[in-house]
């Protein structure tokens, strides 16, 4: 009974925060005419509400290797492994960043609105003919000084390893002349138990899981500990190839995370990142 009441209270509080987030972002959308300033307002707004939401859900996020990485106005294409829509809140709670997501996710009224009001870059994952246009969008955001987060696995996973990377959109870093910053996210403990295949699904959102039931289940989790580890930047030059960049980023993330997952893992084509490395939660 107490657990049910706690879940209801948590759900009500998070729902209220979502409403406030949408309202505040909508005001910015109406009043801020400059696109760059409006987008910066959006992503700073995410940071505020991500911190509140994670605190409400009793998430503890530790950032390792963060200090000094963004000094002097330096920005990056952040490349990370991906397990859940919660990944976005965890990174946003530590650092204001723009996320790459898919246009099919944007067609979802609820999640698409949240992503749009968060300043996301929408790319067309269903048609590879649009890759050049998508690269231009991402590289433009990087040139404007934004940190852009890309999930190159192409889908979210069950957290038992890092899936192979899709390469195409990594070339946005070359076009923009910015370095790549590999990062890992690890959920280390759930309800004071070490993260494992037995409890992973309480946080990980992948395969054919529906969004609403998963989120409601997450409201019933007592506590989660997550660790973000910002690794050494990968220098990018005009001669860098997507294969080399993907290989370097993948090796760094796998070495830090602890394993790769070459075997078959369920994907969620509507909500997780796309096969071209977009963040999906189109469920992001």
Q: Answer whether residue 185 is part of any domain.
A: yes
Predicted pLDDT at 276? 39
Is pLDDT above 80 for 217?
yes
Q: DSSP state, 166? A: P
Q: Answer whether residue 266 is part of any domain.
A: no
Predicted pLDDT at 78? 98
Burial class of residue 264 (count of CB atoms within 10 Å of its CB; 0-12, 13-18, 19+): exposed
Predicted pLDDT at 263? 40
Q: Which residues contact 248 (CB under 8 A, 6 or more apart)?
A: 180, 182, 234
Is pLDDT above 50 for 269?
no
Q: Answer whether residue 62 is part of any domain.
A: yes
Strands 148-150, 98-102: pairing is: parallel
Structure tokens at 102: 């898919």
Helical ranges in the chain per DSSP H: 2-31, 35-56, 86-94, 103-106, 109-116, 131-143, 171-176, 211-219, 242-257
Q: Answer whether residue 78 is part of any domain.
A: yes
Q: What is the pLDDT of residues 69-104, one digit of tens each?
A: 999 889 999 999 999 999 999 999 999 999 998 877
Q: DSSP state, 97? A: -
Is the Cβ–Cβ distance between 172 and 140 less than 8 Å?
Answer: no
Is pLDDT above 90 for 105?
no
Predicted pLDDT at 281? 41
Q: What's the domain range around 159?
A: 2-257
Helical ranges in 130-210 per DSSP H: 131-143, 171-176
For residue 25, name the pLDDT band (cuts at 50, 70, 90).
very high
User: In the chain, how many domains are there?
Assistant: 1
Strands 224-230, 148-150: pairing is: unpaired
Match 């590289």 to its residue by tokens. 139
CA distance 183 to 206: 20
Q: Answer whether residue 124 is part of any domain.
A: yes
Q: Which residues contact 34 (CB under 8 A, 6 or more apart)?
A: none
Q: Answer whether residue 269 is part of any domain.
A: no
Is pLDDT above 90 for 227?
yes
Query: Which of 278, 277, 284, 280 shows the shortest CA–CA distance to 246?
Result: 277
Whole-number average pLDDT of the chain:
89
How far is Cα of residue 214 from the mean position of the Cα atoms in its chain? Answer: 17
Selected residue with higher pLDDT from 237 and 284? 237
For residue 187, name the pLDDT band (cuts at 50, 70, 90).
very high
Q: Answer whether residue 228 is part of any domain.
A: yes
Residue 188's domain is classified under what CATH number?
3.40.1130
**DSSP characters over 205-252:** --TT--HHHHHHHHHT---EEEEEEE---B---TT--HHHHHHHHHHH
Predicted pLDDT at 130? 74
Q: Answer whether residue 176 is part of any domain.
A: yes
């Amino acid at each position: 009974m107490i657990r049910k009441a706690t879940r209801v209270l948590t759900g009500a509080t998070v729902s209220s925060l979502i409403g406030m987030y949408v309202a505040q972002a909508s005001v910015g959308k109406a009043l801020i005419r400059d696109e760059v300033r409006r987008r910066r307002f959006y992503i700073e707004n995410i940071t505020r509400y991500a911190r509140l939401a994670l605190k409400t859900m009793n998430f503890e996020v530790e950032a390792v290797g963060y200090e000094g990485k963004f000094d002097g106005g330096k920005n990056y294409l952040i490349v990370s492994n991906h397990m859940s829509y919660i990944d976005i809140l965890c990174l946003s709670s530590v650092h204001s960043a723009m996320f790459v997501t898919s246009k099919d996710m944007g067609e979802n009224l609820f999640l698409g609105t949240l992503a749009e009001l968060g300043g996301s870059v929408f790319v067309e994952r269903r048609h590879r003919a649009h890759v050049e246009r998508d690269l231009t969008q991402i590289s433009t955001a990087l040139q404007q000084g934004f940190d852009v987060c890309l999930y190159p696995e192409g889908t979210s996973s069950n957290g038992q390893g890092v899936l192979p990377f899709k390469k195409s959109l990594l070339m946005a870093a070359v076009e923009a002349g910015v370095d790549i910053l590999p990062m890992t996210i690890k959920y280390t403990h759930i309800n004071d138990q070490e993260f494992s295949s037995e409890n992973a699904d309480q946080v990980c959102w992948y395969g054919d899981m529906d969004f609403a039931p998963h989120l409601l289940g997450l409201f019933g989790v007592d506590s989660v500990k997550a660790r973000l580890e910002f690794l050494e930047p990968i220098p990018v030059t005009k001669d860098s190839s997507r294969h080399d960049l993907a290989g370097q980023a993948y090796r760094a993330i796998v070495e830090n995370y602890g394993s790769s997952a070459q075997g078959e893992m369920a994907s969620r084509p509507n909500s997780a990142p796309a096969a071209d490395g977009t963040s999906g939660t189109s469920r992001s």
